[in-house]
C-alpha cells in the first residue's frame, strides 16, 4: 500500500469524488430533500427548552454516578427509566452486556438511530470549580462528558418520538444505550449482534471545546496481549537448560521497533511489557507484552497487524519459546458520510453555538489560566466551525457502526475553548452550566436532523449509496474482536 493511499483517503477524499460522480451535490438533486415545517421545528425546540431543567438534573446525576465501563448500572437504569416514561419500549441487556439497551418507538421505515454513551473515566474525579479539586482522591469522573452525551441523545429521541406521535408519522426512532466506549468497545459487540441491521441512518455527538458537524474520520485500532512461554532454570548454574520467555518478548519488541521505519507515517504502534519475570536469577518461563496498532484505515491497520504477528512468531522461533495472543479490543475508523453531514451541519448553523453568561465567562477564564499553554478566544464557544473534511488521531467504537449504517455526528462546545478531553477541566465543565448549554445544542441539532431525515427518503438513499461506494461492493462487516465475549470486568477494581 502506498503511503499516500494509507491516510484513509478512501474514507475522506473519495467522499468528494463520490459526490461529483454520482451527481449528488445539493444543487444537483432531482428530488431535493424536504425539511420539517418551521412550525414542527419550533415545537420540537420549544419542548427541548422546556424540559432542559429536567435533562440537566439527569446529566448531573450521571455525572455524580461516574460509573466506569460495563459497570454503569445506575446510569443505564436512569436513562432507561427516562425513555420508558416517555413511551419507548426498552430491550435490556442486549449483546450480552447488562448495561446495554435499545429503546424503540414507532414502526416501519425509515429507522433512525441515535447513540447514547454514559461511561466515565478512572482517576478524573473533580468538583465543578475552575481549579483542581477532586471530589474523592483516585475516584472516577466524567472527563469525556458522556453524562451529557447519554442525556442529550435521550432528549433528542424523546422529542422526535413526540413529533412522530403528534403527526401520526410512519417510522421508527431508536435510542441505543451503548456502554464502555472508553476502551471497552461496547458498540462493537452491539454491531456484531446485528442490532443495527435494519437502521437507515445513525446520529451521534460528542462533547468538545468548539462547535462543528463535519464529516470526520479517525484511527482504526487493534490491541492484544502476547504471552510467551519458555522454560525456567537457574540463571547461573544451568542457563543452558532454560528458555527465556522474556527473550521472546524482547525479540518481538526489537523486530517491531525496526519495522517502524517501514510502515506508513500515519500508523501508530504502542506496546508495554506487562510481565517480565519474577527474579533476575531465574530464567523466566512466562512473559507478556501488550500491543496496540492504529491506522487511519482498518485495512491498512490489518496489514500492519499481520506483520506484528509475524514478528511474534519469529521471536518465539528464535528464542526457543512459544507464544499465543489474545485480542483485547479492536475498532474500525469512522466512515464519514457527507450526505448526512451536510444536513446536520445546516441544523447546527441554525441552532448556533454557546453563549456564556458573565459568571460563566469568569469561570472559563480561570479554567483557561490553568492550561499552561495559549488558549483560544472564548468566542470560539459561540461560533460554528466551517464545513470541511475532518480527522482526529484517536479511536472510537462509533467507527464500527459507521461501516454498517450511514452515520454522522456533531461536536458542540461543552468545554471551555482550549480544554482537552480526559482532563479535570473537562470534568468540571461537564458537571455545570457550560456543559449543559452544549448538551442543549446537541439535543436540538440531532432532533432537527432526525426530523429532516424522516421527511427526506432521497437523502437516506443517497447516504446509503455513499457508504456502499466508500467501503466497496460486496463488503461484509467482520468485527476485529472476533468471537470474544464482552470484557465486562476490564475496569473492575479501578
pLDDT higher than threshold 60 for residue 407:
yes
The predicted pLDDT at position 494 comes to: 77
Average pLDDT over the chain, rounded to an integer: 93
The pLDDT confidence band at residue 34, using thresholds 50, 70 and 90, is low
Q: What is the mean pLDDT of residues 389-412?
A: 96
pLDDT higher than threshold 70 for residue 3:
no
> 51-82, pLDDT tens digit by residue?
999 999 999 999 999 999 999 999 999 999 99
pLDDT higher than threshold 50 for residue 14:
no
Q: Three-class SS string for the chain?
A: CCHHHHCCCCCCHHHHHHHHHHCCCHHHCCCCCCCCCHHHHHHHHHHHHHCHHHHHHHHHHHHHHCCCCCCCHHHHHHHHHHHHHCCCEEEECHHHCCCCEEEEEEECCCEEEEEECCCCECCCCCCCCCCCCCCCCCCCECCCCHHHHHHHHHHHHHHHHHHHHHHCCCEEEEEEECCCCCCCCHHHHHHHCCCCCCCCEEEEECCECCCECCCEECCEEEEEEEEEECECCECCCCHHHCECHHHHHHHHHHHHHHHHHHCCCCCEEEEEEEECCCCCCECCCEEEEEEEEEECCHHHHHHHHHHHHHHHHHHHHHHCCEEEEEEEEEECCCCCCHHHHHHHHHHHHHHCCCCCCHHHHHHHHHHHHCCCCCCCCHHHHCCCCCCCCEECCCCCCHHHHHHHCCEEEEECECCCCCCCCCCHHHHHHHCCHHHHHHHHHHHHHHHHHHHHHHCCHHHHHHHHHHHHHHHCCCCCCCCCCCCCCCCCCCCCCC
Q: What is the mean pLDDT of residues 380-396?
A: 95
The predicted pLDDT at position 493 comes to: 78
CATH topology (fold) of 10-218+333-471: Aminopeptidase (3.40.630)
> 211-249, pLDDT tens digit by residue?
999 999 999 999 999 999 999 999 999 999 999 999 999
The predicted pLDDT at position 15 comes to: 39
> 299-358, pLDDT tens digit by residue?
999 999 999 999 999 999 999 999 999 999 999 999 999 999 999 999 999 999 999 999
- Domain boundaries in the chain? 10-218+333-471, 220-331
pLDDT higher than threshold 80 for residue 23:
no
pLDDT higher than threshold 50 for residue 9:
no
The predicted pLDDT at position 35 comes to: 64
pLDDT higher than threshold 70 for residue 22:
no
Q: What is the mean pLDDT of residues 131-154?
A: 98
**Architecture of the domain delimited by 220-331:** 2-Layer Sandwich (3.30)
Amino acid at each position: 500500500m502506498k503511503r499516500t493511499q494509507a491516510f484513509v483517503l478512501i474514507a475522506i477524499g473519495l467522499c468528494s469524488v463520490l459526490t461529483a460522480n454520482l451527481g449528488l451535490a445539493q444543487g444537483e438533486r432531482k428530488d431535493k430533500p424536504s425539511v420539517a415545517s418551521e412550525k414542527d421545528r419550533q415545537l420540537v425546540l420549544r419542548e427541548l427548552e422546556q424540559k432542559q431543567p429536567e435533562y440537566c438534573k439527569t446529566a448531573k446525576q450521571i455525572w455524580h454516578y461516574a460509573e466506569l465501563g460495563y459497570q454503569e448500572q445506575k446510569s443505564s437504569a436512569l436513562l432507561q427509566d427516562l425513555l420508558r416514561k416517555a413511551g419507548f419500549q426498552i430491550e435490556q441487556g442486549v449483546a450480552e452486556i447488562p448495561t446495554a439497551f435499545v429503546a424503540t418507538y414507532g414502526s416501519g421505515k425509515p429507522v433512525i438511530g441515535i447513540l447514547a454513551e454514559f461511561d466515565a473515566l478512572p482517576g478524573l474525579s473533580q468538583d465543578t470549580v475552575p481549579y483542581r479539586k477532586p471530589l474523592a482522591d483516585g475516584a472516577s469522573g466524567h472527563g469525556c462528558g458522556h453524562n451529557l452525551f447519554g442525556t442529550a441523545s435521550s432528549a433528542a429521541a424523546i422529542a422526535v418520538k413526540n413529533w412522530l406521535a403528534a403527526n401520526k408519522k410512519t417510522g421508527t426512532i431508536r435510542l441505543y444505550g451503548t456502554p464502555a466506549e472508553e476502551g471497552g468497545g461496547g458498540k462493537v459487540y452491539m454491531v456484531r449482534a446485528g442490532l443495527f441491521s435494519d437502521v437507515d441512518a445513525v446520529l451521534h455527538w460528542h462533547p468538545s471545546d468548539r462547535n462543528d458537524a463535519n464529516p470526520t474520520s479517525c484511527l482504526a485500532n487493534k490491541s492484544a496481549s502476547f504471552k510467551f512461554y519458555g522454560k525456567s532454570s537457574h540463571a547461573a548454574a544451568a542457563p543452558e537448560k532454560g528458555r527465556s520467555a522474556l527473550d521472546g518478548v524482547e525479540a518481538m519488541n526489537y523486530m517491531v521497533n525496526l519495522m517502524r521505519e517501514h510502515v506508513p507515517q500515519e500508523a501508530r504502534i504502542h506496546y508495554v511489557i506487562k510481565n517480565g519475570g519474577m527474579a533476575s536469577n531465574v530464567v523466566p518461563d512466562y512473559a507478556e507484552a501488550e500491543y496496540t496498532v492504529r491506522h487511519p484505515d482498518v485495512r491498512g491497520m490489518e496489514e500492519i497487524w499481520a506483520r506484528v504477528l509475524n514478528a511474534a512468531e519469529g521471536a518465539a522461533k528464535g528464542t526457543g519459546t512459544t507464544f499465543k495472543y489474545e485480542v483485547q479490543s479492536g475498532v474500525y475508523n469512522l466512515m464519514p458520510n457527507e450526505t448526512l453531514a451536510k444536513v446536520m451541519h445546516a441544523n447546527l448553523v441554525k441552532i448556533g453555538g454557546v453563549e456564556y453568561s458573565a459568571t460563566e465567562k469568569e469561570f472559563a477564564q480561570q479554567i483557561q489560566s490553568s492550561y499552561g499553554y495559549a488558549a483560544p478566544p472564548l468566542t470560539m464557544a459561540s461560533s460554528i466551525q466551517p464545513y470541511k473534511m475532518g480527522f482526529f488521531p484517536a479511536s472510537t467504537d462509533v467507527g464500527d457502526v459507521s461501516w454498517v449504517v450511514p452515520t454522522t455526528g456533531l461536536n458542540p462546545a461543552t468545554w471551555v475553548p482550549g480544554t482537552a478531553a480526559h482532563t479535570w477541566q473537562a470534568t468540571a465543565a461537564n458537571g455545570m452550566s457550560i456543559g449543559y448549554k452544549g448538551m442543549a445544542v446537541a439535543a436540538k441539532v440531532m432532533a432537527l436532523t432526525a426530523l429532516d431525515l424522516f421527511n427526506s427518503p432521497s437523502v437516506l438513499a443517497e447516504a446509503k449509496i455513499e457508504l456502499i461506494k466508500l467501503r466497496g461492493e460486496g463488503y461484509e462487516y467482520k468485527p476485529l474482536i472476533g468471537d470474544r465475549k464482552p470484557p465486562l470486568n476490564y475496569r473492575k477494581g479501578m
